[in-house]
Structure 1
Amino acid sequence: MLFELKHESIINVYDVGILKNKPYIRMEYFDGEDLNTVLKKYGVFTLDTATDIILSVCEAMEYAHTKVVHRDLKPSNIMISRPKKCRIIDFGLGIFKENQIYSRLTLVGKGVASGLYTAPELLVDPKIIDKRSDIYSIGAI
Structure 2
Amino acid sequence: MIKEFKEFIARGNVIELAVGLVMGQAFTAIVTALVDSIIMPLIVALTGQANVEKLTMEIGSASIKYGAFLQAIINFFLISIALFIVVKVINTLTKKNKPAPEDTPVKAPTVEEYLAEIRDLLAEKAEK
TM-score (norm 1): 0.23
Indicate the structure (1 or 2) with the bigger Cα radius of gyration: 2
Higher relative strand content: 1
Higher relative contact order (CA 8 A, sep 6+): 1
